[in-house]
Copies of this chain bind each other. A is one copy, B any other.
Amino acid sequence: MKDKNLGIVETKYFNFAEPPHELELESGEKLGPITVAYEAYGKLNKKRTNAVLITHAFSGDAHAAGYHKGDDKPGWWDSMIGPGKAFNTDKYYVLCANVLGGCSGTTGPSSVNPKTGKPYGLDFPLISINDMVKAQSKLIEHLEIEKLLTVAGGSMGGMQALSWLIKHPDKIKSAIIVASAIKHSPQQIAFDEVGRVSIISDPAWNGGDYYGGKTPANGLALARMVGHITYMSDRSMMEKFGRRIRDVGERHKFNTGFEIENYLHYRGSNFVKRFDANSYLYITKAIDCYDASEGKNLSELLYGTKAKVMVLAFKSDWLYPKYQSKEIVKACKVAGIDTTFCEIESTYGHDAFLLEIDEETQLIKHFLEKVVQAG
């Protein structure tokens, strides 16, 4: 159904925090100038009330839907964004921005530090989920949108939606939080730390100073391999790969040739082509340190919030298990927020938020209609 797609789209760039007006980060450090890479699909209505912000997961980017010129593959949530889709571009003006600290157009550790004329590397300041959202809010201001119809995202994108709900409750009418958490559990932190150590142990990482030379490709690929295990479920791996062996030439004496091994290597080496190792470090640190409740009771931070909330979880998601979604739901309900929760039956694990399109579409469509109707 190509005709139901957005066709060719382009990434745009918004610059702010130009000297001397730097952005103050949550840590107190200052950063500027900042570029935010973003894409926009559909049309902003005259009242500027139909804008939807999609917040991406850890390794996502601004290219959420449609095709970049010459590309075979569409944006990462194309099945959800477009004419007649969940985020219906016939009705809504859909935005997605690459996060601060990222490596797909928005200012991050691989960007040039104006003070040195060289990439920041580890001179880039530590950033937080709230900082990412602060940068997004500058974009929304720039677009003269007073209130977003919704902020929607999965995984780290859900944390950003939660941050919008807590830090900018008057600027959103609703939030859709998919397969996410108030804060990372020690198990989630542990997997991230393994990824970080994998990168840092790669001699090519070189203290973060590798731009223009050999990159820590081995470490970054290994980090991604671990990630992909956590994105799938035991069952989805069994269904997709079983113990099938496919000879792709002996990678090393101990590689058993199982398809699951080939898959992980393939995903690892593909990731290296599009992602920056330092961004991996900065962003996972931001996720691990995020605690929406700020050490308090989350519901206290949410009292008085008018926005509606939808929370979605997936049955086989063991990286962001259902109990974490239910903690969000509980805090919202205790705060008196109009909150709806749905657990979607799925065997896909955490990846389900990218794959369980039919149910997600129905749930999100109806939710957004309700938000629009409430005015």
For chain A, the count of residues having a C-beta within 8 Å of the partner chain is: 54
A219-242 to B contact mask, C-beta < 8 Å, 1/0: 100100110110010100110111
**Residues of chain A in range 70-86 having any CB-CB distance to chain B below 8 Å:** none
Q: How distant is the Cα of A337 from the Cα of B193 in the complex, in angstroms?
A: 45
Q: How distant is the Cα of A206 from the Cα of B232 in the complex, in angstroms?
A: 32
Evaluate contact between B255 and A196: CB separation under 8 angstroms.
yes
Contact of A243 among B186, B243, B264 (CB under 8 A): B186
**Residues of chain A in range 302-328 having any CB-CB distance to chain B below 8 Å:** 318, 321
Evaluate contact between A261 and B225: CB separation under 8 angstroms.
no
A46 at the B interface (CB under 8 A): no
A203 at the B interface (CB under 8 A): yes
Residues of B within 8 A of A126 (CB): 253
Report the nearest B residue to A268, measured CB to CB. Answer: B197
Q: Please classify the interface of chain A as helix (H, G, I), strand (E, B), loop, or mixed, using the class held by over half of its residues.
A: helix
Specify which of A197, A226, A234, A256 lies most central, judged by the most chain B CB atoms within 10 Å of its CB.
A197
Evaluate contact between A218 and B201: CB separation under 8 angstroms.
yes
Specify which of A186, A202, A255, A256 lies most central, judged by the most chain B CB atoms within 10 Å of its CB.
A186
Residues of B within 8 A of A238 (CB): 185-187
Evaluate contact between A187 and B237: CB separation under 8 angstroms.
yes
Residues of B within 8 A of A190 (CB): 225, 228-229, 237, 260-261, 264
Interface residues, chain A, with chain B CB atoms under 8 Å away: 122, 126, 183-187, 189-191, 193-194, 196-198, 200-203, 218-219, 222, 225-226, 228-229, 232, 234, 237-238, 240-243, 252-256, 258-261, 264-265, 281-282, 284-285, 288-289, 291, 318, 321
